[in-house]
Amino acid sequence: MAFITFEKANSFLDENKLRFTGTEDLAPELERAENLIISRLQATYPTAISAWLTPATTPKLVQDVAGALCAAWRYSKVYSEEQISTSSFAVALETQAMDALDGVASGVYVLTDATEEPAVQITSDDFWPNDTVSDDTESDDYSPRRFTMNMEF
């Protein structure tokens, strides 16, 4: 399985500083990134993940996440001895990738080129309070309303 090529990971790196030289050079970071992505998206895209075997079959956003993670981890590893603190570039790149991954997993971002709809669908019922709470005092979900979503303050 290979979500990306080494060129994709290189697109997140400065060509004058650091590069992946080939598929074998990318392999340690890519294996880690793929494991993380599969673990995080398994519940959201349970059947589509098994089809992500090549860059051609992997959604573009997933490729971006994998490439950014690989680049961030390599950059952090290579420059760890030269810096007292963690590289802000590596941290920013990893944070952006993880935010995108979390967005896909939660259903906020949808993989438009995926072969299935996400298993997670966000509806108005996921946000409280909303106007679906019953006004019936005998109802199990009765709660006296202080306001409704249509009220102006």
Report yes or no on 147 lying in a domain: no
Q: Which pLDDT value is given to residue 147?
A: 65
Closest by alpha carbon to 69, among 111, 44, 41, 32?
A: 32
Report yes or no on 149 lying in a domain: no
Residue 146 DSSP class: S
Q: Which pLDDT value is given to residue 27?
A: 94
Report yes or no on 39 lying in a domain: yes
Number of folded domains in the chain?
1
Report yes or no on 145 lying in a domain: no
Structural domain boundaries enclosing 89: 6-106
Would you state the structure tokens that stand for residue 66, as one six-digit string? Answer: 């994998």
- Residue 142 CA to residue 133 CA, distance in Å, equals 7
Report yes or no on 62 lying in a domain: yes
pLDDT tens per residue across span 19-60: 999 999 999 999 999 999 999 999 888 888 988 999 999 999
Report yes or no on 127 lying in a domain: no
pLDDT tens per residue across span 81-93: 776 777 889 999 9
- Residue 25 CA to residue 10 CA, distance in Å, equals 11
Closest by alpha carbon to 59, among 7, 10, 100?
A: 100
Would you state the structure tokens that stand for residue 78, as one six-digit string? Answer: 């290579």
